[in-house]
Chains A and B, each alone.
Chain A
Amino acid sequence: MKAALDEAATQLGQLKDADRAYSIAYSVLDHRALNIQGSHGAFAGMVPEHYRSVDVDVRVGSLDLDSTHKIRDESYFSGTSRPHWLVGFEGGADPLRRLLLRATDDAYRGALARLLKVRSNEAVKVEREDDSADYSIAPAQKRMDVPPDLVIDRAAWQEVTRAASAVYLEYPEVYDSAVQLVVTEDDRWLVNNEGTEVRDGRRHLRVATWAETVAEDGMALSVYDYVDVASVAHLPDAARIEAMVRQVAARTVALRNAPIIEPWNGPAILRGRAAGVFFHEIFGHRIEGHRQKDEDEGQTFTHRVGQAILPAFLSVVDDPTVERLANEDLNGHYVLDDEGVAAERVSLVERGVLRNFLMSRAPVEGFPKSNGHGRRQAGNFIVPRQGNLMVQAEGVIPYAELRKRLVAELGKQKKPWGLVFDDISGGFTFTGRSTPNSFVVQPVTVWRVFADGRPDQLVRGVDLIGTPLTTFGRILAAGGDVEVFNGVCGAESGWVPVSASSPSLLVQEVEVQRREKGNDRPPLSSPPVGTK
């Protein structure tokens, strides 16, 4: 890679053209994955995957204005396409060298053409609100840290997933289900013309299980649970997996029989994982640096640096350097981002006051440098993304106390019941100006807590909705518990692994809407039975 980059840089440097490539970066990802799955007590299959993809980023122009600059009001169909290159995962250096040179050539010519459009767009349009540069200097990194390959006993895991999947057969109301182990080994090479030379990697394992059923009213219900770890040693054992399966099965059946609740607003507790996703969606995406200078974005927080946006007892950091929290491996851990910049702990909100944004090497006004959050899925452009988003609270109270506060709040608001969002499957948000700046958090497990002391009741059929500023202003208290949500987040630069952690939060008022539901009747005949 280094030889190819030097060769490309030398050749491009000799061009007479005034618009030379001032930045060239190569990234190669060697991706290996293995999915071992059991379903209904049988080995469903083992699917291996291996590919090596290449990303070439060439910038033409200058730091101040280059070929990556946003073209305002650009037609959707004129957007810059980004070729996806696959290269052999074996063999000598020359095939890779030649592919990199071809990709560089394509990228350079593409960048040259785009810069032409950028310049005319700048001439035609009004002055930009944020005239910060397009790129910033970052120190070169040298790093060689390839994690060892994971050693998986495939036969043993075949048996574990098979046996665990058989547990679902004890639950006739669970119609479809599976248990799987997904092993991912990513090795990464990164070089650029500033001297960065990196070879590192990421190891990730997920033991997951899901169960599906259909309620009598046609609502399709699915419960998913998983454990994400970074090493084989942290994998759950067969007993724990069986327990996980039993819990998912029981929860699925309980949900099937749970009542549906109507659209409602009132006080609620978001347990740790739910609160983590809640912050990821309504806060995390809005403090990604590129959204602060993009005039198509809602820019909820762009001009609120130094102002209070959260209650004073809350702080938020994003710290990809943290490997574990609350006894869990964090999915958003990395050392260097995809631009080769060292990941930094970024203090985003300090005691309620907004202080910083997540930054790649593309500056925004007042934030000229990267803090190591430039990320992408291979094949995409790099933008700032979350890593490990952590909500931290002062003056926390035990969860039991938080629950009492919820009941007290019900009394204040004269509401017969409130909600506890226990577990969620994910969520999404809109950050642009052309759509309402709302968010949706999709819970799996929601409990109704009664003001009169009746036992909590599992309910179904609602999504948590809202808008960011209003919702932030209504957080009343935080619990002493911290839970971690590990997942992958999809946005402009593809899917990247993230985590979001938070204590449980009491919110004065949330709103729920009816969830989209299926309309199919449950299966007409009983499921096939047996043990084999």
Chain B
Amino acid sequence: MILLVAAALAAEVAPASAALQAALEGELARATVLKLPDAPAPWLVIFDALDGTVHEAGAEDGALYRSQHAPFRNLRVEVRVGDATVDSSNYSGFGEPDGIQSRRLPVEDGQVALRREAWLAADAAYKNAVETLSRKLAGRKGLKEAPPPDYQVLPPLVRPAGPHPGNAWSAPEVDDLARRLSAAASVDGVESAQAEVRDWHGWRLRLDSTGSRVWAATGNVVVRVEAVVRRDDGSEVRDARWWIGRDARSLPDAAAMESEARALATSLLETAAAPTPKPWLGPVIFEGEAAAELFSQLLAPELVGTRPEETAPGSFFAPGATPMARIGRRLLPEGWSAWDDPSTRTGAAGEYEIDHEGVAPRRVDTVVDGVVRDVLMSRLPSKERAASTGHGRALGNDRRGALPGFVRVTAPRMITDAAMRKRAMKLARSVGQEQVLVVRRLTPAAMVQSLEVSVSGEAPMAGLTAPYEACLLQVDGSCVPARNLRFVGVDRRLLRDIVAAAPGAGRIDMLDGPPGPSRYTIGTTGGVPTSWDVPSVLVSEVELDPADGGEPRVLRIGRAGAR
């Protein structure tokens, strides 16, 4: 493993391409003067380029099933017509053009070739923007109150390319790590063990027609291991471990990850041997990674002040006109606070210097004494907030909206883990239970096996992804593994039922997407890096149902030599 880290530190990212900037500068200038007869000219043109290398590998049981390593260059062009008060942005025509175009760019620095792609993207984006503005204005007819402005104009920002962390793993290292981790979790009794490794590093270059020229180093590394056990009764039990970081230095070394992968297999086999799950109604402790995921899933949407996209009046899919976050809403018990500050320098995956809209992030004290007092903002103003807080980010080429960066949640009073367990047992006894459910890990939103959280048919919405790892705390202090449970009817109000907090696991890095269904479809290694530092919590009452099922195997499938 020492070898892996040494090699990782030695690996380099190509320098910021002056040729790329020069080519885009040329086309940006031409795009600003595009003009259709009887149509407005652009008031704002934004070119966002990504230039880097992606290494990706997937392995099962020690053998690669996917290995892709290639340079990557992409251009996102956004053209806006109108003005900052009302423009063509932030309108959803459900499949209709929206003024944003993206194209793959050549991976080498040919001026004409780069400019051609930018030229085609800008031309299409401008035409789409003109149509979008007319649809948006038509949809606004009859509105009694003018919506807030569509863009926060800021002085241009010029930021040259600084040093790049230069820590990308090499292709063989990524492949080798996937092999090793999947092999480590592949023990007798585990039906399948897969590892996915992704290393993306490069540059983000943002140019706009107001004069902003921003280079920013970007990238992250993601490692996930997932194992599945199929019980004799046919039900599947799965668990995973994952590591997300800005660079290889922020991850444990390969030997430590291998060790974790082996531990995953061991604990999974123990969980699979647990008795048939029963419905649960009672106190639940969310500890470590589960606590971070709990806050990420339930709290994050309540902190985002980005207003929904406008739609045609009467549209079936029309979202509400206001952001999900409400200033003044109680989210947490009295005394609790939450703030987001991606500008710190602790090495968290969710930290950054400049957001995707060219704004430096600042600390936002979102929850004070349990009540929402401020929200995370992009450059799309809302009724309550006119200014960006530097949280405008997005998945790929999507609309930029506010996303959490590095969120810290604090309780007014922390008790020890032992004290919290004691209190939980007392709570349990008060409702006739002799046990407490302890959830150690929740399925990350990105890795849910189905969209049950969003669509659950007849049954009440789960509202929270299923536990990966949980156990039932006994009176004697032992914790008996529990398996295959799903939450029932959870929403943000669960956070108000938190009755105690204990020291958490420290910072947890994760990958996420904007609030909404797309959050659950970003894939195992995609997403926007975010970080959470939260305490472990005791919730007074949570409901879970068994999620068992499946058909027993007919064939005996042992490992060679283990049959």
Contact = CB atoms under 8 A, between A and B. Distances in A.
B70 A46 contact: yes
B559 A524 contact: no
Given A45-B70, A48-B70, A527-B116, A11 B107 contact: no
A86 B192 CA distance: 12
A15 interface: yes
A461 B114 CA distance: 31
A453 interface: no
A127 interface: no
Interface stretch (B61-69, B201-209, B262-270, B345-353): B61-69
B113 A42 contact: yes
B3 interface: no
A167 to B, nearest CB: 13
Contact of A98 (B61, B107, B115): B61
A43 B551 contact: no
A156 interface: no
Contact of A102 (B68, B186, B191, B559): B191
Q: Which of B27, B64, B113 has the most CB of A within 10 A?
A: B113
A48 to B, nearest CB: 7
A153 interface: no
B555 A8 contact: yes
B34 interface: yes
A266 B110 CA distance: 49
Interface stretch (A87-95, A228-236, A295-303, A443-451): A87-95
Interface in A25-53: 39-52
Interface in B57-106: 59-71, 73, 104, 106
B70 A44 contact: no
A51 B111 contact: no
A109 interface: yes
Chain B at the A interface: SS class: mixed
B62 A528 contact: no
Interface in B99-156: 104, 106-117, 119-120, 123-124, 126-127
A15 B63 contact: no
B413 interface: no
A525 B26 CA distance: 13
A139 interface: no
Contact of B123 (A102, A105, A169, A523): A523
B459 interface: no
Contacts of A88: 59-65
A101 B35 contact: no
Interface string A500-523: 000000000000000000001101
B2 interface: no
A530 B127 contact: no
Nearest to A3: B560
Contacts of B119: 523, 525, 527-528
A43 B107 contact: yes
Nearest to B106: A42
A42 to B, nearest CB: 3
B132 to A, nearest CB: 14
A327 interface: no
Contacts of B556: 11
Nearest to B556: A11
B147 to A, nearest CB: 30
Q: Which of A45, A48, A49 has the most CB of B within 10 A?
A: A45
A197 interface: no
Contact of A48 (B26, B68, B116): B68
B553 interface: yes
Interface in A296-312: none
Contacts of A326: none
Contact of B64 (A48, A89, A102, A528): A89
Given A44-B113, A532-B112, A525 B106 contact: no
A81 interface: no
A109 B554 contact: yes
Nearest to A15: B554
Given A11-B554, A97-B560, A105-B553, A45 B106 contact: yes
A98 B557 contact: yes
Contacts of B26: 528
A19 B116 CA distance: 63
Contact of A49 (B68, B116, B127): B68
A524 B65 contact: no
Interface in B21-42: 26-27, 30, 34-36
B108 A43 contact: yes
B108 A105 contact: no
A529 B108 CA distance: 17
Contacts of A521: 36, 127
Contacts of A90: 63-64
Interface in A260-316: none
Interface residues of B, number: 51
A431 interface: no
A530 B559 contact: no
Contacts of B117: 40
A515 to B, nearest CB: 21
B61 A44 contact: no
Given A41-B113, A44-B107, A525-B119, A102 B63 contact: no
A12 interface: yes
Contacts of A91: 61-64, 179
A399 interface: no
A524 B123 contact: yes
Interface string A375-413: 000000000000000000000000000000000000000
Contacts of B60: 87-88, 95, 99
A12 B553 CA distance: 11
Nearest to B128: A520
Contacts of B111: 528, 530, 532
A528 B24 CA distance: 11
Interface in B190-248: 191-192
Contacts of B192: 99, 102
A473 B308 CA distance: 60
A417 interface: no
A87 B59 CA distance: 9
Contacts of A40: 106, 110, 112-113, 116-117
Interface string A90-133: 11111101110110110011000000000000000000000000
Contacts of B104: 44-45
Nearest to B127: A520
B68 to A, nearest CB: 7
A305 B61 CA distance: 53
A101 B116 CA distance: 52
Given A108-B554, A175-B120, A520-B127, A39 B113 contact: yes
A108 B553 CA distance: 10
A105 B551 CA distance: 10
Contacts of B191: 98, 102
A42 B109 CA distance: 7
Contacts of A323: none
A176 interface: yes
B39 to A, nearest CB: 10
A89 B257 CA distance: 23
Given A95-B60, A528-B112, A11 B555 contact: yes
Given A108-B554, A109-B551, A529 B112 contact: yes
A101 B559 contact: no
Interface string A38-72: 01111111111111100000000000000000000
Interface of A: 8, 11-12, 15, 39-52, 86-95, 97-99, 101-102, 104-105, 108-109, 169, 175-176, 520-521, 523-525, 527-532
7 contacts: A41-B110, A43-B108, A45-B70, A45-B107, A102-B555, A104-B555, A527-B116
- Smallest CB-CB A-B distances: 6 pairs: A88-B63, A91-B63, A42-B110, A42-B113, A528-B115, A40-B113
Given A40-B113, A98-B559, A523-B119, 18 more contacts: A11-B555, A44-B104, A45-B107, A86-B65, A86-B66, A88-B64, A91-B62, A95-B60, A99-B192, A102-B553, A109-B551, A109-B554, A169-B112, A176-B120, A525-B30, A525-B119, A530-B111, A532-B110
